[in-house]
Amino acid sequence: MLAMNYRGPKRVRVDKKPEPTILHPEDAIVRVTRSCICGSDLHLYNGLVPDTRVGSTFGHEFVGVVEEIGSDVTNVKVGDNVLVPFNIACGKCAFCKQGLFGNCHEANSQATAVGGIFGYSHTAGGYDGGQAEYVRVPYANVGPTVIPEGMDPDDAVLLTDVVPTGYQAAEMGGIQKGDTVVIFGAGPIGIMAAKCSWLFGAGRVIVIDHIEYRLEFAKNYAQCEVYNFKSMDDPVLFIKKETDWMGADVCIDAVGAEAAGDVMQTITGRKLLLQAGSATALHWAINGVKKGGIVSIVGVYGPTDNLVPIGNVVNKGITIRANQASVKRLLPKLIKHVQDGLIDPKALITHRVPLEEIADAYHIFSEKLDNCIKPVLIP
């Protein structure tokens, strides 16, 4: 089969690889029909996630058709059209039982803090992902969900990650009616978090980025205010001025590791810890939120990144909430929101690219070219 093949930072291509096979009675094999590239893949692509091995296949946002099932699979059958949550979760461990499907204890034999994720390095279990013609889906009684009759597959593929992550970003913010919510990052996740903030009763939603076309998109899609941080002296001062010097009620980090770029360039090699720098979105979030406010972090960082200015957290009494999205927990509600027209996920898809042209797709998405918001690969 054809599959994405990681060759090292900023080097990806498509190669022939053996088709996956059933390794466990609870496995399924899915023939992929659509597979997105995510901002999370860019951390891998940029070499920021430890133990990302050459030869691995990325891709944790995909939909497709069940081709084969193991002897213990009962929840899906051959021929079903399924969407597959990005988290690989056993459904039985103490964490899954609490609804923490992003923190499954069984799906990641490394027993690092994160659970299993498709195509997300050996720190997330070393599973191959769905930027390929076929993918092995472990614990197939838990994750894969039959796509409801009539649902557009473009909506379905964004229900595997972008919609639940944006929603959970807003949910973790504990938004109260009338709250001012400031979101850093106008990528698919930040835009979806802005859209979902209104569902929790926000009174004002402000998205901050430095890429004009993305801010314009966020403004139209989520009906929010937008600000370009390159045109401000200091985003924290801006937030203070906008909130009568109180600070935002809720700040959301929908950026992650790349925002620490200024800091990273001063160190050699990723093996050193990423140290705190004042120019990160996370710092702006912590410094821009009000005393007693909530900072919700969905931006992804490497396991040992060390970026929290803890003194400001303690002295302001800030609550920090963060996690990988728990897709399976949120799916029933979010499928309904899409069916009811409260969320229109497919509007985020700007690029459709054959799998063979994956290198171009990564380049365009990574460099924010050609007005790209969300690219989808078609195997």
Count other Cβ atoms within 10 Å, centred on residue 174. 15
**Contact of residue 57 among ligand NAD, Zn ion, none (CB under 5-8 Å per partner type):** none
Minimum distance of Zn ion from residue 61's CB (angstroms): 5
| Nearest CB to ligand NAD, comparing residues 145 and 165 | 165
Strand order in the sheet with 289-297: 225-228, 204-209, 180-184, 248-253, 289-297, 319-322
161 binds Zn ion (CB under 5 A): yes
Q: Rounded to an integer, what distance in angstroms lies between the CA atom of residue 46 and that of residue 17?
A: 23
Q: Rounded to an integer, what distance in angstroms lies between the CA atom of residue 299 and that of residue 113?
A: 16
**Contact of residue 240 among Zn ion, ligand NAD, none (CB under 5-8 Å per partner type):** none
Give the orientation angle of helix 188-199 with respect to helix 212-222, to 10 degrees: 30
Site string for ligand NAD, 206-225 (x = CB under 6 A): --xxxx--x-----------
Minimum distance of ligand NAD from residue 236's CB (angstroms): 11
165 binds ligand NAD (CB under 6 A): yes
Write the DSSP string, 204-242: EEEEEES-HHHHHHHHHHH--EEEEGGGSS-HHHHHHHH
Minimum distance of ligand NAD from residue 71's CB (angstroms): 32
| Nearest CB to ligand NAD, comparing residues 29 and 89 | 89
**Residue 151 and residue 344 in contact, taking contact as beta carbons nearer than 8 Å:** no
| Interface stretch with Zn ion, choices 61-69, 114-122, 143-151, 260-268 (CB under 5 A) | 61-69
Residue from 286, 298, 343, 377 touching ligand NAD (CB under 6 A): that is 298
Q: Rounded to an integer, what distance in angstroms lies between the CA atom of residue 162 and that of residue 157?
A: 9
300 binds ligand NAD (CB under 6 A): yes
Minimum distance of ligand NAD from residue 74's CB (angstroms): 28
| Nearest CB to Zn ion, comparing residues 117 and 236 | 117
Count the site residues for ligand NAD by CB under 6 A: 31
| Measured CA angle at 128 (ends 123, 133), to 5 deg | 160
Q: Which helix (H) or strand (E) holds 364?
A: helix 358-366
Site string for Zn ion, 31-50 (x = CB under 5 A): -------x-x----------
Minimum distance of ligand NAD from residue 341's CB (angstroms): 23
**Could you tell me which residues come within 8 angstroms of residue 32 by beta carbon, excluding any fewer than 6 positions away?**
59, 62, 63, 64, 130, 131, 132, 133, 134, 135, 379
**Contact of residue 325 among Zn ion, ligand NAD, none (CB under 5-8 Å per partner type):** ligand NAD
310: left (phi over 0), alpha (psi -120 to 50) or beta: alpha
Task: List residues bridging with 354 in a β-sheet.
Answer: 378
| Interface stretch with ligand NAD, choices 63-71, 139-147, 253-261, 340-348 (CB under 6 A) | 253-261
Residue from 59, 144, 190, 247 touching ligand NAD (CB under 6 A): that is 190
Residue from 26, 106, 133, 161 touching ligand NAD (CB under 6 A): that is 161
**Contact of residue 208 among ligand NAD, Zn ion, none (CB under 5-8 Å per partner type):** ligand NAD
89 binds ligand NAD (CB under 6 A): no
Residue from 115, 187, 302, 375 touching ligand NAD (CB under 6 A): that is 187
Minimum distance of Zn ion from residue 114's CB (angstroms): 13
Annotate 190-200 with b (16+ C-beta within 10 A) or e (fewer). Answer: bbbbbbbbbeb
| Nearest CB to Zn ion, comparing residues 166 and 379 | 166
**Could you tell me which residues come within 8 angstroms of residue 245 by beta carbon, excluding any fewer than 6 positions away?**
none
Q: Rounded to an integer, what distance in angstroms lies between the CA atom of residue 283 and that of residue 312?
A: 9
Q: Which two tokens stand for residue 28?
A: 């399924």
**Contact of residue 114 among ligand NAD, Zn ion, none (CB under 5-8 Å per partner type):** none
Helix (H, G, I), strand (E, B) or coil at 247: coil
> Which residue ranges make up the site for Zn ion (CB under 5 A)?
38, 40, 61, 161
> Which residue ranges make up the site for ligand NAD (CB under 6 A)?
38-40, 42-43, 161, 165, 184-190, 208-211, 214, 229, 254-256, 258-259, 281, 298-300, 324-325
